[in-house]
Every structure is written in structure tokens, then in C-alpha cells.
Amino acid sequence: MTRLLLPYALNRPEARHPCIIEDLLEVTDAHALTAMIEMLTDLHQHGQESRYAKKLEGLPLWELKTRSRGGPKGGARVYFTFTGHGEALVINAEVKTGDTPSVAKITEALAITLAYANGQARLQGGNR
């Protein structure tokens, strides 16, 4: 099983929840929320072999998306990276139409990935 690490937003030190939890709380489409939970469960159980995981070209990021399994374009997406310690840093999520990730979500995910690599990311349950 892959341990899922949940970082907080860098620009919101007062945040009560990690980024991914805040994003999931904002999802109003029940089907999209169910898909995100299913994809995260698959990531936890199968790690890099998750059937929803897709490496984003040219970036140190991955995404979970239903399209990876022949689902519709757009829809639910979860952005994350692997830490190299058998863990996945699950950063944020979105529900959108189209097949292109949100620039704001990718920018946030890259910043948090860099902060984690430098030991500066705050994680749910404390840092390792």
C-alpha cells in the first residue's frame, strides 16, 4: 500500500485542512466526488500501478483522472507526485470540462512539490 501524504497550501498558513481536503469539500457534483474517492483508493492500494495514474509530460507531477480508463473528457482530476519513499504527496483536485489541467492547480502543485523536497511543506499529522 502506498502511504498518502496530504500537504497544506503554502499561501494559506491558517488553513484548517490540507489542499486536497479543501478541494474535495468544494466539489458539488456527487459523481465527480465519488470518482475522486475511487481514484484515491486505487492510488493508495496500487501506488504507481494505479489504473488512473498518468504522468504529466515534462513535469514532476502525476494526475489521477477517469479519462485514463476510457472515461469522458474533463471531469474529476487529482494532482500528486511520488516522494521516492513509497509515498504519494496528494496535492489538489479539480472538476472541469476539457482535457487540459488548470494552470493554477498545476502551479500550486509544483510549488508544494518543491517545498516538500526542501522540507518546507506542512503535512497533515505533522512532517516526517
Above 70 in pLDDT, residue 101? yes
> pTM for the full model?
0.91
Percent of the chain with pLDDT over 70: 91
Per-residue pLDDT tens over the stretch 28-80: 988 999 999 999 999 999 999 999 999 999 999 999 998 655 555 558 999 99
Neighbouring CB atoms inside 10 A of 70's CB total 6
| pLDDT on residue 74 | 56
Q: What residue ranges define each of the domains in the chain, with the CATH number in brackets?
A: 3-9+16-117 (3.30.2310.20)
What is the rounded CA–CA span in Å between residue 103 and residue 49?
A: 26
105 in Cβ contact with 94 (< 8 Å): yes
| pLDDT on residue 125 | 73
